[in-house]
Amino acid sequence: MSNSLSAGSVIRERYQVEALIGQGGMGAVYRVADLRLPGRTCALKVLQTQLRGLAVEGEFGDGRRQFLVEANTLARLDHPNLPKVSDYFALEDYDCLVMDYVPGQDLQQCIQEARRQGRFLPVADVLAWTAQLCDVLAYLHEQQPPVIHGDIKPANIKLTSDGRVKLVDFGLVRPGDPEDPRTLTGFGLRGVASLPYAALEQYAGPGGRVDARTDLYSLGATLYHLVTNRPPASAHERFLDPANLLPPCQVNPALPGSVQQAILTAMQPHPKDRPASVAAWRKLLASPDLPVRSAALADTPEPARTVWLANRWYALLAGLLVLAALILTFLR
């Protein structure tokens, strides 16, 4: 099998390739037609076996065996914010997943469109999408063993025409088992995970221990990007200099302080400083809008517009007092 599939080619006498819709370090994703079920369109994710061999060492070192474990895990999942996996098979040097094709834009494209128009995405819309992502991540993390996605980012979240988001691209998904560290190892950052959204523990490579808090970091970084139109500084950049992460309210002054606080809490560098679960973190988003209490932000200057909005009533009162003084002066 070549490194790419040409349009019109048929895989396993069932899936006819229509177009390449995505490509990355792990392989590629194609839109295919299911010839056995006319009218059904699927996404065929083609993964390079050689790279999958990096996933786990020891008795699970065979990349293909690991692929089958993960494919079985995905096939059992059933959630409205996930594409359903319907088939998986090996083909020469590649492993293949067949799942629902999700039409529409991904959130990365939504961000790019907003930037071109010189605006931010509506905070209400972003929070509605985030609530759905919290639902699906809670579902994944509650599986036995827990399932860790490992690569949450705007480009891996599709937006359907009815306003529902779908978390796609399970190239890094791991079955997590706190009693067995081997099942908690991810691929790390060997050209696979996305730097601005990857937690510091993912930098450890195949030996890195990940859990639900790892996905939470990526969710916080994704929310940062959605409300600011810019990706956050990577965990590595922040390790070198914490000031590299600009507080989101400085970029988007209309952002509620509670949302900023939730983002920064999810993006704490050390896992123990993040909430233990997505459900616990979600409560921060629903809390009343309070000033950010992070010590790291105490000395950060606010934009002029934010300062004006916070003190506009004092400015108005001062103006009225000056006006009254002038009137009294002329009346004398």
180 among known catalytic residues:
no
Catalytic residue chosen out of the listed positions 106, 151, 211, 215 = 151
Of the candidates 275, 245, 243, the residue with the CA atom closest to the CA atom of residue 262? 275
Phi, psi of 294 (to 5 degrees): -65, 125
Neighbours of 262 (CB within 10 A): 24
Closest to 75 in 3D by CA, of 66, 88, 63, 64: 88
Number of H helices, E strands in the chain: 10, 10
Which pair of structure tokens corresponds to residue 196?
């601005």
Strands 15-24 and 10-11: antiparallel
DSSP per position, 247-313: -HHHH-TTS-HHHHHHHHHHT-SSGGGS-SSHHHHHHHHHS-------GGGTTPPPPHHHHHHHHHH
Alpha helices in 77-147 (DSSP H): 107-116, 123-141
Directed axis angle between helix 212-228 and helix 107-116, to 10°?
20
Which residues are the active-site residues? 151
